[in-house]
Amino acid sequence: MIKKFNNWETTKAFGSFQTLPKGAYICKIMKAEVMGDWGIKVYYDVTEGDHKDFWSNDYRSQTREDKIWRGTFLLYLPTEDGSPKDENTKRRFRTFTDHLEDVNPGYHFDWDEQKWKGKMFGGLFRIRQSQKNDKVYNNLEPNAFTSFENIRNGNYTLPDDYMISNNTTTQTSPSNTGFTDVEGSNDLPF
């Protein structure tokens, strides 16, 4: 028989969480954070439709002390090594910044990611699997961008998921990697 843990009666269990399903979403950037020299972590939330405020609601519903904002994706930075992969990284970055300019009147990209806060984007999200230590994780990521009108009218085709084909265990990643203005809400981390 095992010994009862200290504080067992007051220890809270981890709750279950839902993830945003793949789809087309009109989103708002809540924060953009440079992660070393390899990428920018973009925090976002859904602004319209059935999943409006999805990540805000998720954050508020967490009972743990160290709440986390799960509505994120990574925008990688090029390494400037001239490789085809690096050129693709530059194209993806340019596609995102051009899209921000197109859908946010008056915005011009000037290399200051802090100005992304509050900007809107129309994302076509897919599942991208990643692998770590024999486990495969499903992460939600925007793979393409489109106008708000296309999303509202259903005039889009979702990109194919990026799946790893092997015999490892698949789990949903709790850190996935989109509303009414919530600035000034004291219960959100922004």
* Domain parsing of the chain, residue ranges: 18-172
Q: Residue 10 above 90 pLDDT?
A: no
Quote the pLDDT of residue 125. 95
The sign one gets for the Cα dihedral 80, 86, 89, 95 is positive
Quote the pLDDT of residue 181. 31
Arithmetic mean of pLDDT, 136-165: 93
Q: Which amino acid is at 83?
A: S
Arithmetic mean of pLDDT, 21-28: 96
CA distance 18 to 51: 11
Confidence of residue 166 (pLDDT cuts 50, 70, 90): low
CA distance 123 to 146: 6
pTM reported for the whole predicted model = 0.78
The residue ranges of DSSP E strands in the chain, in sequence order, are 23-35, 39-46, 72-76, 120-132, 135-145, 169-172
Q: Which amino acid is at 149?
A: E
Quote the pLDDT of residue 7. 80
What does the block give as tokens for 139?
């992460």
The residue ranges of DSSP E strands in 47-168, in sequence order, are 72-76, 120-132, 135-145
